[in-house]
Amino acid sequence: MPFPDWTEEHETFRETVRRFTAEEIRPNAERWDAEGDFSSEIFPKAGELGLLGVRFDPKWGGSGLDYWYTVILVEELVKGRDIGAVVGLMVQCEMATSVINAHGSDELRQEWLVPAIRGERIAALGVTEPGGGSDVASLQTSAKVDGDDYIINGSKIFISNGARADFVTLAVRTGGPGPDGVSLVVCPTDSKGFTVGRRLEKVDQHSGDTCELFFDDVRVPRTNLIGEEGRGFRYIMGAFQGERLVLSTMMNAVCRDVIDETLGYIAERKAFGQAVASMQVWRHKMADYLTELEASESLTYRAADQLVSSDPKGEVTVSMSKLYGAELIRRLVLDCAHAHGGYGFMKENYIARCTRGVQNWGIGAGTSEVMREIISKRCMAKPSS
Ligand SMILES: Cc1cc2nc3c(=O)[nH]c(=O)nc-3n(C[C@H](O)[C@H](O)[C@H](O)COP(=O)(O)OP(=O)(O)OC[C@H]3O[C@@H](n4cnc5c(N)ncnc54)[C@H](O)[C@@H]3O)c2cc1C
């Protein structure tokens, strides 16, 4: 089923998210962007509507739904036009918590997942380190066993929700080098020895708090281990599928919003006595982008379908959709801003603001080169030499 067969349940859920976005995000988006912070009040508000645990086990307060609902959630949240806030929410309900839902002990789920789904405790995911992000298997932050505790030392960088998080789903080295030495633990941010470093100034997503985190002899109970020791790398790679689907959907939704607005603008805007949209160069450019966007959305929906049906091809399709979307959004957003002339360079114009972020879509949750590596490894025979 490459195209979604939206049911009444999907539409009802979409309407709930649409209302939340219209009431809680869109009216605040420009101010949050200018002030460089979104309000944490959106977490409990989203939690109350059941938006923070759509795929999680109902036993812990989730809705037990599938990836199609994640797709709808993202498509609607993006219409709020504050990507920093959308990233914050998606880290909370997908990236930092899906591993606890899938592999955590019941005690961990009760203590951290339940309040995260309610939006009462904020989550961050700590994988990337100053020494590197793509090569997860080489991470250095250590967790050494001391009695019933782990003692954690090291640092993380570029961590979304880093300043506001109550806990970090943290990737640490509990064993030797390589992927089998990596584990995941829940690290509460009120632990002694934990500090938030700089809140990094980003080119875009100004409202989101993206931070350095430091761990100096931080003691956490061994019961905070998520799943089994030494399996953290596999858990992270498994969770990446959901993250990449979220990012692909975000990119498509941004492109759809930007192109719709541009089509409206060029239909009205006149130059040399005629609408810009009547000039063939722009008509053809927009026709190309509409075609590519349709292809990108179809690829993402195909990936969602494969993830829902646990089709092993899902991993490669989701990587293709992330790669394709990241390449498309760069060109589409810049050309749509260009179609706005001088207005496309003004901060008050949403499309102009979108141009700031085009480069980053090919970075988070695995760079475009990492996507190409996954695709080529899965789809091409190993060269003989
Ligand atoms: C806004 C933002 C929010 C983020 N939020 C989080 C978060 O919440 N939690 C978290 O853990 N991380 C987060 N990250 C980090 C992000 O996941 C990393 O930036 C990303 O994985 C890339 O790692 P790196 O920056 O260390 O780049 P590097 O890994 O150093 O890569 C540098 C360059 O080398 C290329 N490269 C790497 N490997 C290969 C290869 N095998 N073949 C060819 N080229 C290669 C890369 O594509 C890239 O162009 C965030 C980043 C940003 C920008």
pLDDT band, residue 2 (cuts 50/70/90) = low
The number of the ligand 1 atom at minimal distance from the alpha carbon of 365 is 17
Q: State which amino acid sits at residue 384.
A: S
Q: Does residue 195 register a pLDDT over 60? A: yes
Tell which residue, 106, 93, 244, has the closest CA to residue 169.
93
Backbone angles phi, psi at 263, to 5 degrees: -60, -40
The number of the ligand 1 atom at minimal distance from the alpha carbon of 171 is 11
Tell which residue, 301, 348, 337, 366, has the closest CA to residue 3.
301
pLDDT at 384: 78
The number of the ligand 1 atom at minimal distance from the alpha carbon of 366 is 21
pLDDT at 86: 98
Mutate to test the pocket of ligand 1, among 90, 199, 200, 363 (most ligand atoms within 8 A of CB): 363
Extents of the domains making up the chain: 8-122, 124-230, 233-379
Which CATH architecture does the domain made up of 124-230 adopt? Beta Barrel (2.40)
Active site (annotated) includes residue 369: no
Q: Is the dihedral of CA 214, 218, 220, 225 positive or negative?
A: positive
Which CATH architecture does the domain made up of 233-379 adopt? Up-down Bundle (1.20)
Domain 8-122 sits in CATH 1.10.540.10: yes
- Strand 270-271 and strand 210-221: the pairing is unpaired
Q: Is the dihedral of CA 292, 373, 93, 156 positive or negative?
A: negative
Per-residue pLDDT tens digits for 12-51: 999 999 999 999 999 999 999 999 999 999 999 999 999 9
Mutate to test the pocket of ligand 1, among 92, 125, 134 (most ligand atoms within 8 A of CB): 134
pLDDT band, residue 252 (cuts 50/70/90) = very high
Instruction: Name the catalytic one among 129, 243, 292, 315.
Output: 243
